[in-house]
Amino acid sequence: SQQGEEDPQALSIQEGENATMNCSYKTSINNLQWYRQNSGRGLVHLILIRSNEREKHSGRLRVTLDTSKKSSSLLITASRAADTASYFCATPQGGKLQFGAGTQVVVTP
Amino acid sequence: SQTIHQWPATLVQPVGSPLSLECTVEGTSNPNLYWYRQAAGRGLQLLFYSVGIGQISSEVPQNLSASRPQDRQFILSSKKLLLSDSGFYLCAWSVRSERLTDTQYFGPGTRLTVL
């Protein structure tokens, strides 16, 4: 079964707007990670948030983690065309890192 | 700094032909290494991982195999490709640890099309 599932599957916004995507998971975790993948490229690690953290920032990225709801959100503020990519959450399951199916974000100028 | 290379970048192979994809890591020692496959528009499926030379663990039974002949080299192979082997293959590394859930660093990927 899928440990981490992103929502929505796709998101289309205009430059300057904020983009929010969510990740829900099933079992207890000690960390949750977000990655970005540009079309046809490898994944790039964005941020790791530990289970004892509630919020973490990195540049225009803000990640929250609610362990009681087993969910995380990734917010991209003031989006740019270069933010167009798929975003994946990754959570530990069975001792391995399991990736969701991703949220495809398109930012139009 | 650490870098990870994969080649070839793209590959078109006939059904039944052999396969060899290579991944090498620079700038780190004794990394954990991983092979993933990604179907179009989907998440990543872990195929193999390795915590040391000659140590390979398989996650999914299939006609693929992996080898780690050197500390920073990871090879994905097949003796006879199937149509279902088509996909985007990603190699990744993480800092050497018994934990396989640390941050992973990915290569650029190989797009394999089996015809």
- The string of DSSP letters for A12-34 reads EEETTS-EEEEEEESS--SEEEE
CA angle B86, B90, B95 (to 5 degrees): 155
Q: How many CB atoms lie within 10 A of CB B111?
A: 15
Section B75-104 average pLDDT: 94
Using 50, 70 and 90 to split pLDDT, how confident is the model at A2? low
Q: How confident is the model at residue B104 (pLDDT cuts 50, 70, 90)?
A: very high
Q: What is the pLDDT of residues A18-59, one digit of tens each?
A: 999 999 999 999 999 999 999 999 999 999 999 999 999 999
Q: Residues B14, B17, B18, B23: what is their CA dihedral angle, to the nearest 10 degrees?
A: 0
Predicted confidence (pLDDT) per residue in A50-76, tens digit: 999 999 999 999 999 999 999 999 999
Q: Mean pLDDT score of chain B, rounded to an integer?
A: 94
Contacting A with CB below 8 Å, chain B residues are: 6, 41-44, 46, 49, 59, 88, 90, 92, 99-101, 103-109, 111
Q: Does A61 touch chain B (CB under 8 A)?
A: no
What pLDDT was estimated at residue A30? 92
CB of A105 closer than 8 Å to CB of A87 = yes
Q: Which of A3, A27, A99 to mutate to test the interface with B (most CBs of B within 10 A)?
A: A99
* Structure confidence at residue A94 as a pLDDT band (50, 70, 90): confident
| Cβ-nearest to B108 among A30, A42, A96 | A42
Question: CA-to-CA distance for A68 and B67, rounded, in angstroms?
Answer: 41
Which of A9, A27, A38, A96 to mutate to probe the B interface, most B CBs <10 Å?
A: A96
Q: Would the CA dihedral through A106, A50, A42, A59 be positive or negative?
A: positive
Kindly give, in sequence order, each residue whose CB lies less than 8 Å from that of residue B61, ignoring residues fewer than 6 positions away: none
Ramachandran sector of residue A70 (left: φ over 0; alpha: ψ -120 to 50; beta: rest) = left
pLDDT of residue B100: 87
Binning chain B into helix, strand and coil, the percentages to the nearest 5 are 5, 55, 40
